[in-house]
Structure 1
Amino acid sequence: MDLNLRHVRAFVSVVQAGSFTRAAALLNLSQPALTVQIQRLEETLAARLLDRTSRTVAPTRLGRELLPVFQRVLRDLDAVVIDTRDLAARRHGVVRVATLPSFAASALAEAIAQFRSEHPRVTFLIKDAIAQRVLDLVRNEDVDLGIVGGDVGDPELSVLYRTSDVLHVIYPRGHPIGALPKVTVDVLAEYPLILMDPATSVRAVVDLAFVGAGRLPTIACEATYMMTAVGMVRAGLGLTILPGSAREIHAEPELRSRLIDDPQFVRSVCLIKKAGRTLPAAAEAFCGTLTGLIVGSPA
């Protein structure tokens, strides 16, 4: 049994209006066309729903019982249509983003603030994680978008935008490295280093740079989060290497940073999504805002 929603709406309109004439005008139908729709609904249900005389129309007992059910169905359907149109128009929705911690507190936060000033009913779910976790979240469709470091060659992922982030060495104020004319791999190899976790994109860049120079770093500690590495530098455990976009660099007034004079210390940063999947309208719109701020972030 297939109920036609137009027939259901016709029945509800007649009962609410108390008249075929008024209901036909509300639905922009002729009275004969409205009568046919009611008849078709009754044929589908194999039951009479309206008692009609020359002057009055009233629902039968079954019609009275079905009226609130039909009204609820129509309200729910209308709500779905309105919500879908709002989503398509980007008036509301949820944008889910997995991101490197270095971007979560900088370019991403600024992009969200800018986007929500124009789309206040759009909300965001942010998962800040190391590179491998970001890739997994996008691949498994737990998020719509990912901001990840390093080149992305996974066929299950599509790169929407690519930029770069130059790495800096972080050191205590007054440290000898601050007085050198330039910082190279050879210089860095002379000091104990606090390096990021091997699963992070920053660590991958650092390891490749040292290998390419034929040197080995002196690792004092490893940290998963940049703020932890900054704290270790503050405690005098060594120097660390972080991306120039990281807000953590400026969190400690007693620490300094400077560019590493080696083109190998550059991290690719990619905005990605699951390959072959259509982004929700709000997420697609947010991409434009986000890429505009990423390109302007420190490199």
Structure 2
Amino acid sequence: MDLNFRQIRAFVSVAQLGSFTRAATALHLSQPALTVQIRKLEEALHSRLLDRNSRSVALTRTGRELLPLLQRMLQDMDAVVADTREASAGRRGTVRIAALPSFAASLLPDVILACRAAQPGIAFVVRDAVASQVMQLVRDEQVDLGLTGGAVDAAEFDTLHQWADRLCLVCPADHPLATKRQLRLAHFADQPLVLTDPSTSVRALVDAAFRQLGRQAIVACETTYMMTAVAMVRAGLGLTLLPGGARELRAEPGLVARPIADAAFVRTVSLIKRRGRTLPAAGQDFLAASIAATRKT
């Protein structure tokens, strides 16, 4: 016969309260039902745990030895149940996110702050990576959610939310293009550019836009990180193209950012998860906060 936690809880209650009557009341059981639980536990263990007469209840030697072990079992199980309920309610848990660096540094801090304000017990793990790595992290289930550039139509992913992100041209404040409120590719097609490397979603968008125009970008320098690209522009190596929401746009007071009107410079941003996998409650809260944040922009 297998043990169950009802039997264990019945024994621990009787042992702690020293009375079948008080234990039955605490457990909301009738005394006969409580007696059955104790008997089944003793049968499963092939040992007498309680000596009972009309006046008192006493633990046998085996009962005394088992009591602290069974108490710890109940405490551990109660803790597991409580933690699981907290996580299911979204009050606890860890949200694992992979995101393009531009979003990890711009959108995510505000979204995480909103989630933590509502549920302080939620923790976050952020992996900032290029688009291909974001997809792989979601595919391998190393993260719950991925925030990446471009539409995602692979069968193994679900797209939970999408929005548009327009690129901007970043140039020195005294550059002739800085006076234009809105630019087109033809304005800077002959300018030397500082571009992120070909593995990034921004570079893919820029290269595709130049191909549509039948031109090839003049690449003065390639970088991995957008902040490095901004530093290169500040040094006078060329101009750069960055997402409109990138915090790097505001990092250098001597530079200005101008939106690019061409539709080719608008990218889709996708929030994805692995198809067939259920998001934890904390992940659902993060999703709702992300949708709210992107609708404000």
Instruction: Classify the TM-score, shorter chain.
Output: over 0.9
User: Partners in 1 of 2:169 and 2:284 — Cα distance?
Assistant: 35
- How far is the alpha carbon of 1:261 from its aligned partner? 2.7
State the partner residue of 1:204.
204
State the partner residue of 2:52.
52
Alignment of structure 1 residues 68-83 onto 2, 5 Å: 68-83=68-83
For residues 54-82 of structure 1, the C-alpha deviation after alignment (integer angstroms, 9 at most, x for no partner) is 21111111111111111011001111111
State the partner residue of 1:15.
15
User: Partners in 2 of 1:13 and 1:269 — Cα distance?
Assistant: 57
Provide the TM-score with structure 1 as the length reference: 0.96
User: Partners in 1 of 2:58 and 2:91 — Cα distance?
Assistant: 41
Q: Does 1:61 align with 2:61?
A: yes
CA RMSD of aligned residues (A): 1.3
State the partner residue of 1:195.
195
State the partner residue of 1:274.
274
State the partner residue of 1:122.
122
Contact residue 232 and residue 238 of structure 2 kept, 8 A: yes
State the partner residue of 1:109.
109
- How far is the alpha carbon of 1:255 from its aligned partner? 0.5
State the partner residue of 2:241.
241
User: Partners in 2 of 1:31 and 1:187 — Cα distance?
Assistant: 88
Q: Check 1:179–1:12 CA distance in 2 against 1; reply closer, same or farther (3 A cut).
A: closer
State the partner residue of 1:263.
263
Q: Which moved more, 1:154-163 or 1:103-112?
A: 103-112
User: Partners in 1 of 2:91 and 2:257 — Cα distance?
Assistant: 42
Q: Check 1:54–1:180 CA distance in 2 against 1; reply closer, same or farther (3 A cut).
A: closer
State the partner residue of 1:230.
230
Residue identity (%): 56
Aligned length: 297
For residues 242-279 of structure 1, the C-alpha deviation after alignment (integer angstroms, 9 at most, x for no partner) is 11111101110000111123111111101111111000
Contact residue 9 and residue 74 of structure 2 kept, 8 A: yes
Q: What SS does structure 2 have at the residue aligned with 1:123?
A: strand
State the partner residue of 1:170.
170
User: Partners in 2 of 1:30 and 1:11 — Cα distance?
Assistant: 14
State the partner residue of 2:252.
252
User: Partners in 2 of 1:137 and 1:296 — Cα distance?
Assistant: 28
Q: Does 1:153 align with 2:192?
A: no
Q: Which moved more, 1:170-179 or 1:239-248?
A: 170-179
User: Partners in 2 of 1:181 and 1:18 — Cα distance?
Assistant: 83
Contact residue 180 and residue 258 of structure 2 kept, 8 A: no
Q: What SS does structure 1 have at the residue aligned with 2:264?
A: coil
Contact residue 181 and residue 259 of structure 2 kept, 8 A: no
State the partner residue of 2:28.
28
- How far is the alpha carbon of 1:185 from its aligned partner? 2.5
Q: Does 1:183 align with 2:203?
A: no
User: Partners in 2 of 1:53 and 1:180 — Cα distance?
Assistant: 96
Q: What SS does structure 2 have at the residue aligned with 1:167?
A: strand
User: Partners in 1 of 2:46 and 2:182 — Cα distance?
Assistant: 89
- How far is the alpha carbon of 1:161 from its aligned partner? 0.4
For residues 85-126 of structure 1, the C-alpha deviation after alignment (integer angstroms, 9 at most, x for no partner) is 111111111111111121222221111112211111111111
Q: What SS does structure 2 have at the residue aligned with 1:174?
A: coil
User: Partners in 1 of 2:51 and 2:259 — Cα distance?
Assistant: 85
Contact residue 182 and residue 258 of structure 2 kept, 8 A: no
User: Partners in 1 of 2:15 and 2:129 — Cα distance?
Assistant: 57
- How far is the alpha carbon of 1:182 from its aligned partner? 5.4
User: Partners in 2 of 1:31 and 1:139 — Cα distance?
Assistant: 55
Q: What SS does structure 2 have at the residue aligned with 1:294?
A: helix
User: Partners in 1 of 2:5 and 2:179 — Cα distance?
Assistant: 78
User: Partners in 2 of 1:180 and 1:75 — Cα distance?
Assistant: 68
Q: What SS does structure 1 have at the residue aligned with 2:263?
A: coil
User: Partners in 2 of 1:179 and 1:105 — Cα distance?
Assistant: 28
Contact residue 169 and residue 259 of structure 1 kept, 8 A: yes
- How far is the alpha carbon of 1:184 from its aligned partner? 2.7
User: Partners in 2 of 1:162 and 1:152 — Cα distance?
Assistant: 10
Q: What SS does structure 2 have at the residue aligned with 1:258?
A: strand
Structure 1: which 5+ residue stretches go unaligned?
Answer: none
Instruction: Letter of the 1:161 partner, please give it.
Output: H
- How far is the alpha carbon of 1:178 from its aligned partner? 2.5
